[in-house]
């Protein structure tokens, strides 16, 4: 097995387990001021007066910045960026207090008096669904789709249901942090960002400075899940503005409570699904219509219904995405954006169909396998969904499933078995990468991408080590800095797919040039050999029975660096998706309404797996987020004030150790000849399908079909 492909331990595991890992917020902040945000108390209106007299009297308070005094920036995309007095959501920052310490800044913020002219607010989309409108796009794709004629398709049997999912919050454990430092026209930002290059460009645009005068650094992230990309930018800009305003470096760390409001959220959904089929289960029509809220100032729609476009073969399919404007924070992508909640609806509806028709839910999926992407008309680059189903079903023991609902018991618990299929599109971005060897023989990979815990650091090292031919422990990695060659932002499960071809290209180029040097160097044992006869393995250059260490070649001839670029095809000839199948056993205490996932068997086809150890961890992590989606998580908004009610981790429940089932996660071989590098990504698909599999299992256990997440005890009480 080559180095890329091995289950190597994370190369940053030791610094993480010893506490030596320095996250951006762990930096010594001596010399920096600290910012605290003053929230608006209304959900809609205008700031008419800000009285900072009391705030300025607090010892250590250096400045109070409001929309009236904030630096002007170009292209403000959010009222968080303090360019005007409009208030668009409860909790919106309307002033920034800057002080010598965090405590002083917070005391100062509490002392600022804000007066607003309050305007009528729409604080929830419920009750305003009739005001839904069509956005410009859903995620990266078109808002509506249609093939065939769903309304007039034959529908011998139909399931028509509404499913809902609540607002979810990313809640990485590491709070968002920004440290902004101006030096004349030059800007240095250390931040917990998933997108150093994208944020650099946006900062340059906002502040009217050339991009090469802006440096953004994010060396190590404590989780992101989407919150530290577009969601972070407004607060990042605010901190940069505060640094400009105060004339000194400013650090901003959001509190956990602020993380409920200021860095985005997964929008709640109302999804109407109609699935029609013949009596023996062949799908004839699917319509999947979704409504979600967006803010008053920004438009974002998760691609929620897109899963219905591609996952199954069906001649008549119509999907739509609609938004309702709400005085609420701007939603943004959160792990498995779109497919996460969308698969809950689709896979639940199919399960309902299966039971109504008396067909095994797994058989229904297999019967309706899509031989190609019927939405685009392209063939699949590869599709191992069937194999995923087979492997996971076998591991789970699905063949022993009793069709009768409520027939499995464990003492007083009702057990239930449910399944779902999953897919997630393969995204790829352009990426640069540099692989360099130092005079001492050490190898460094440099790529301006990020590691959120995804394992990117390790993957980069493995790719370079494998393509170059050196031991993994000789490879160092530098990421998260715009001084490095540009890499992709961290999102869309696309980083590995994006960096792999670039790193391998750079490493191979480096290998080839090192070989060229050696065979041209009379001092080398390999002098005069044909390049095709020379290889590098384990840090040793070998050819025709002769060898020397790469380190010795380099020591003589000097360090060397190769940079490469790779970009996806602009016109793909095939449609690329990762696939999966998930089988869940739940235990339900039907009297008390407690639901616990007991075991999960899942199999995924994600193309080339660069590190099975890390990839499995990603998938398990995705599944766990899905357990939370099914059973625990919901942010509640107080309709009168537009404020989040449960703004603490005591009240917004993230799955804990005790909620864990047994996990059995397998990879299915998925050699994809059409993908440069062969990588599909594993970051998102774990959260696709699992919530439906759990709800389907609950149905199998109890006969109760729950269509509104999260599933809570009251669902079992009429």
Partner 1 sequence: MRPFDHARAASVRDALDLAAARPGAVFIAGGSDLVPLWKDGVSAPPAVIDISRLPLDHIDVADGAIAIGALARMADVADHPVIRRDAPAVAEALLASASPQLRNAATIGGNLLQRTRCPYFRTPGFPCNKRAAGSGCSARGGDDRRHAIFGASERCAATHASDLAVALVALDASVELCGPDGSRTVGIEDLHVAPGDRPERETVLRPGELITAIRVPASALARRSRYLKVRDRASFDFAVVSVAAALDIADGQVREARIAAGGVGTVPWRLRGSERALRGARCADPDGVGSPGIDDAAARATDGARPLGRNGFKLELLRRCVRRVLAELTGALEPRGAGGAA
Partner 2 sequence: MTRSFADRADVTMTINGEPRRLEVPASATLLDLLRDQLGLTGAKRACDRGTCGACTVLVDGRRIYACLALAAMQDGRCVLTIEGLARGGELHPIQRAFVAHDALQCGYCTPGQILSAVGLLGEGRATDEESLREQMSGNLCRCGAYPQIVAAIRDAAGA
| Residue ranges binding partner 2 (CB under 8 A) | 9-10, 12-23, 25-26, 28, 171-175, 220-223, 225, 253, 255-256, 452-455, 613-614, 616-618, 620-625, 648-650, 654-658, 660, 662-663
Nearest residue (CB) to partner 2, 293 versus 621: 621
Nearest residue (CB) to partner 2, 553 versus 586: 586
Interaction between residue 712 and partner 1 (CB under 8 A): yes
The option from partner 2, partner 1, none interacting with 632 (CB < 5 to 8 A, set by class) reads: partner 1
| Sheet containing strand 61-66, strands side by side | 61-66, 93-99, 33-39, 250-253, 177-183, 186-191, 214-217
Nearest residue (CB) to partner 2, 206 versus 627: 627
Contacts with partner 1: how many residues (CB under 8 A)? 39
- The one-character DSSP state at 198 is H
Alpha carbon distance 216, 524 (integer Å): 42
Alpha carbon distance 252, 104 (integer Å): 13
Binding to partner 1 in span 76-105, by CB under 8 A: 103
Bin 148: left if φ > 0, else alpha if -120 < ψ < 50, else beta: left
Alpha carbon distance 687, 403 (integer Å): 26
- Helix and strand numbers (H, E) in the chain are 14, 28
Interaction between residue 673 and partner 1 (CB under 8 A): no
Q: How many CA atoms lie within 13 A of 41 on its CB side?
A: 10
Q: Which residues pair with 380 in a beta bridge?
A: 575
* Strand pairing report for 475-479 and 534-537: unpaired
* Distances from the Cα of 82 to the Cα of 66, 99, 257, 296, angstroms: 7, 19, 20, 15
Binding to partner 1 in span 618-637, by CB under 8 A: 631-632, 636
Binding to partner 1 in span 103-122, by CB under 8 A: 103, 107, 110
- CB of residue 327 to partner 1, shortest distance in Å: 16
Q: What is the DSSP string of 108-126?
A: HHHH-EEEEEE------ST
The option from partner 2, partner 1, none interacting with 640 (CB < 5 to 8 A, set by class) reads: partner 1
Alpha carbon distance 538, 465 (integer Å): 9
Q: Which of 21, 395, 430, 653 binds partner 1 (CB under 8 A)?
A: 653
Please, are residues 683 and 618 in contact by the beta-carbon 8 Å criterion? yes
Nearest residue (CB) to partner 1, 48 versus 648: 648
- CB of residue 232 to partner 1, shortest distance in Å: 24
Alpha carbon distance 66, 418 (integer Å): 53
The option from partner 2, partner 1, none interacting with 454 (CB < 5 to 8 A, set by class) reads: partner 2
The option from partner 2, partner 1, none interacting with 453 (CB < 5 to 8 A, set by class) reads: partner 2
Interaction between residue 126 and partner 1 (CB under 8 A): no
The option from partner 1, partner 2, none interacting with 455 (CB < 5 to 8 A, set by class) reads: partner 2
Nearest residue (CB) to partner 1, 684 versus 690: 690
Nearest residue (CB) to partner 2, 123 versus 618: 618
SS3 494: coil
Nearest residue to 605 via CA among 501, 684, 680, 499: 680
The option from partner 1, partner 2, none interacting with 412 (CB < 5 to 8 A, set by class) reads: partner 1
SS3 80: helix
The option from partner 2, partner 1, none interacting with 623 (CB < 5 to 8 A, set by class) reads: partner 2
SS3 384: coil
Interaction between residue 410 and partner 1 (CB under 8 A): no
- CB of residue 341 to partner 1, shortest distance in Å: 20
The option from partner 1, partner 2, none interacting with 166 (CB < 5 to 8 A, set by class) reads: none
Q: Which of 399, 571, 650, 673 binds partner 1 (CB under 8 A)?
A: 650
Nearest residue (CB) to partner 2, 28 versus 532: 28
Q: Which of 520, 537, 544, 645 binds partner 1 (CB under 8 A)?
A: 645
Interaction between residue 643 and partner 1 (CB under 8 A): yes
- CB of residue 631 to partner 1, shortest distance in Å: 8
Nearest residue (CB) to partner 1, 443 versus 597: 597
* Distances from the Cα of 238 to the Cα of 41, 164, 189, 262, 341, angstroms: 19, 34, 12, 12, 32
Q: Which of 379, 525, 593, 612 binds partner 1 (CB under 8 A)?
A: 593
Q: What is the DSSP string of 685-713?
A: GGGSSHHHHHHHHHHHHHS----BSSP-G
Interaction between residue 592 and partner 1 (CB under 8 A): yes
Nearest residue (CB) to partner 2, 62 versus 619: 619
Residue 390 neighbours by CB under 8 Å, 6+ apart = none
Nearest residue (CB) to partner 1, 281 versus 587: 587
Nearest residue (CB) to partner 1, 175 versus 342: 175
Alpha carbon distance 112, 56 (integer Å): 9
SS3 595: strand
Nearest residue (CB) to partner 1, 378 versus 653: 653
Please, are residues 3 and 507 in contact by the beta-carbon 8 Å criterion? no
The option from partner 2, partner 1, none interacting with 591 (CB < 5 to 8 A, set by class) reads: partner 1
User: What size, in residues, is the chain?
Assistant: 718
Q: Which of 41, 141, 366, 395 binds partner 1 (CB under 8 A)?
A: 41
Nearest residue (CB) to partner 2, 10 versus 248: 10
- CB of residue 595 to partner 1, shortest distance in Å: 9
Alpha carbon distance 332, 139 (integer Å): 9
- CB of residue 135 to partner 1, shortest distance in Å: 29
Q: Which residues pair with 432 in a beta bridge?
A: 565
Contact region with partner 1 (CB under 8 A), list: 12-20, 181-189, 498-506, 649-657: 649-657
Say how many C-beta atoms besides its own lie within 10 A of residue 223's C-beta: 17
The option from partner 1, partner 2, none interacting with 613 (CB < 5 to 8 A, set by class) reads: partner 2
Q: How many CA atoms lie within 13 A of 363 on its CB side?
A: 12
> Looking only at Cα atoms, what is the longest distance across the chain?
87
The option from partner 1, partner 2, none interacting with 596 (CB < 5 to 8 A, set by class) reads: partner 1
Q: How many CA atoms lie within 13 A of 640 on its CB side?
A: 0
Nearest residue (CB) to partner 1, 39 versus 303: 39
- CB of residue 58 to partner 1, shortest distance in Å: 11
Please, are residues 347 and 353 in contact by the beta-carbon 8 Å criterion? no
The option from partner 2, partner 1, none interacting with 30 (CB < 5 to 8 A, set by class) reads: none
Contact region with partner 1 (CB under 8 A), list: 362-370, 388-396, 426-434, 656-664: 656-664
Q: For residue 667, with 0-12 CB atoms within 10 Å meaning exposed, 13-18 middle and 19 or more buried, which class applies?
A: buried
The option from partner 1, partner 2, none interacting with 641 (CB < 5 to 8 A, set by class) reads: partner 1
Say how many C-beta atoms besides its own lie within 10 A of residue 662's C-beta: 10
Using CB under 8 A as the criterion, what x/- string covers residues 528-567 for binding partner 1?
----------------------------------------
Alpha carbon distance 10, 220 (integer Å): 13
Q: Which of 651, 662, 669, 671 binds partner 1 (CB under 8 A)?
A: 651
Bin 177: left if φ > 0, else alpha if -120 < ψ < 50, else beta: beta
The option from partner 2, partner 1, none interacting with 403 (CB < 5 to 8 A, set by class) reads: none
Residues that bind partner 1 (CB under 8 A): 41, 103, 107, 110, 257, 411-412, 587, 589, 591-594, 596, 631-632, 636, 638-641, 643, 645-648, 650-651, 653, 655-659, 712-714, 717-718
């Amino acid at each position: 097995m080559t180095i890329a492909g091995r289950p190597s331990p994370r190369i940053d595991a030791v610094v993480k387990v010893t506490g030596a890992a320095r996250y951006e917020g762990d930096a010594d902040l001596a010399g920096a001021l600290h910012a605290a945000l003053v929230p608006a108390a209304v959900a809609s209106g205008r700031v008419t007066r800000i009285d900072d007299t009391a705030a300025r009297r607090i010892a250590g308070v250096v400045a109070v910045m409001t929309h009236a005094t904030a630096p002007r920036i170009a292209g403000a995309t959010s009222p968080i960026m303090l360019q005007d007095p409009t208030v668009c959501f409860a909790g919106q920052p309307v002033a920034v207090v800057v002080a010598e310490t965090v405590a002083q800044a917070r005391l100062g913020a509490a002392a600022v008096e804000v007066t607003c002219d309050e305007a009528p607010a729409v604080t929830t989309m419920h009750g305003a669904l009739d005001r839904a409108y069509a956005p410009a796009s859903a995620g990266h794709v078109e808002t509506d789709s249609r093939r065939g004629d769903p309304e007039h398709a034959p529908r011998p049997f139909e399931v028509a249901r509404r499913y809902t999912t609540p607002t979810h919050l990313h809640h990485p454990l590491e709070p968002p942090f920004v440290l902004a430092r101006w030096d004349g026209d030059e800007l240095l930002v250390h931040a917990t960002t998933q997108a150093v290059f994208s944020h650099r460009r946006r900062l340059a645009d906002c502040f009217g400075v050339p991009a090469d005068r802006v440096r953004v650094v994010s060396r190590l992230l404590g989780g992101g899940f989407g919150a530290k990309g577009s969601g972070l930018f407004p607060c990042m800009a605010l901190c940069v503005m505060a640094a400009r305003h105060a004339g000194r470096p400013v650090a901003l760390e959001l509190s956990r409570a602020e993380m409920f409001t200021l860095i985005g959220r997964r929008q709640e959904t109302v999804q109407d699904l109609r699935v029609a089929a013949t009596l023996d289960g062949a799908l004839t029509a699917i319509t999947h219509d979704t409504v979600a809220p967006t803010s008053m100032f920004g438009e974002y729609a998760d691609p929620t219904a897109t899963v219905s476009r591609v996952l199954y073969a069906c001649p008549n399919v119509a999907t739509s995405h609609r938004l309702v404007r709400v005085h609420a924070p701007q939603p943004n992508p959160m792990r498995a954006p779109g497919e996460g909640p969308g698969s809950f609806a689709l896979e639940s509806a199919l399960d309902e169909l299966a039971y109504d028709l008396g067909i095994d839910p797994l058989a229904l999926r297999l019967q309706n396998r899509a031989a190609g992407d019927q939405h685009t008309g392209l063939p699949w680059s590869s599709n191992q969904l069937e194999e995923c189903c087979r492997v996971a079903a076998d591991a789970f023991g699905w063949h022993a499933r009793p069709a009768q609902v409520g027939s499995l018991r464990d003492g007083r618990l009702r057990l239930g078995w449910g399944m779902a299929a999953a897919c997630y599109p393969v995204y790829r971005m352009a990426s640069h990468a540099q692989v360099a060897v130092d005079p001492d023989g050490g190898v460094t990979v440099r790529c301006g991408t990020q590691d959120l815990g995804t394992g990117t650091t390790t993957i980069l090292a493995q790719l370079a080590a494998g393509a170059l031919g050196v031991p993994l422990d000789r490879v160092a990695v530098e990421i998260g800095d715009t001084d490095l060659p540009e890499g992709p932002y961290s999102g869309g499960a696309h980083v590995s797919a994006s960096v792999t071809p670039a790193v391998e290209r750079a490493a191979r180029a480096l290998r080839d040039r090192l070989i060229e040097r050696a065979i041209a160097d009379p001092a080398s044992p390999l002098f005069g050999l044909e390049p095709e006869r020379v290889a590098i393995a384990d840090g040793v250059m070998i050819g025709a029975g002769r060898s020397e260490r790469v380190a010795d070649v380099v020591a003589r001839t000097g360090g060397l660096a190769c940079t490469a670029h790779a970009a996806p095809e602009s016109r793909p000839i095939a449609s690329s998706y990762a696939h999966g199948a998930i089988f869940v056993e739940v235990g339900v205490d039907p009297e008390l309404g407690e639901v616990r996932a007991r075991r999960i068997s899942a199999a995924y086809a994600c193309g080339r797996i660069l590190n099975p150890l890390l990839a499995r961890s990603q998938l398990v992590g995705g599944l766990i987020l899905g357990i939370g989606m099914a059973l625990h998580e919901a942010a509640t908004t107080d309709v009168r004030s537009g404020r989040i009610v449960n703004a603490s981790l005591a009240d917004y429940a993230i799955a804990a150790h005790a909620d864990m089932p047994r996990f059995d996660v397998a990879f299915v071989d998925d050699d994809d000849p059409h993908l440069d590098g062969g990588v599909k990504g594993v970051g998102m698909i774990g959260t696709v399908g699992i919530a439906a599999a759990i709800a389907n299992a609950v149905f199998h256990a109890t006969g109760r079909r729950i269509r509104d997440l999260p599933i809570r005890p009251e669902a079992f009480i009429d």
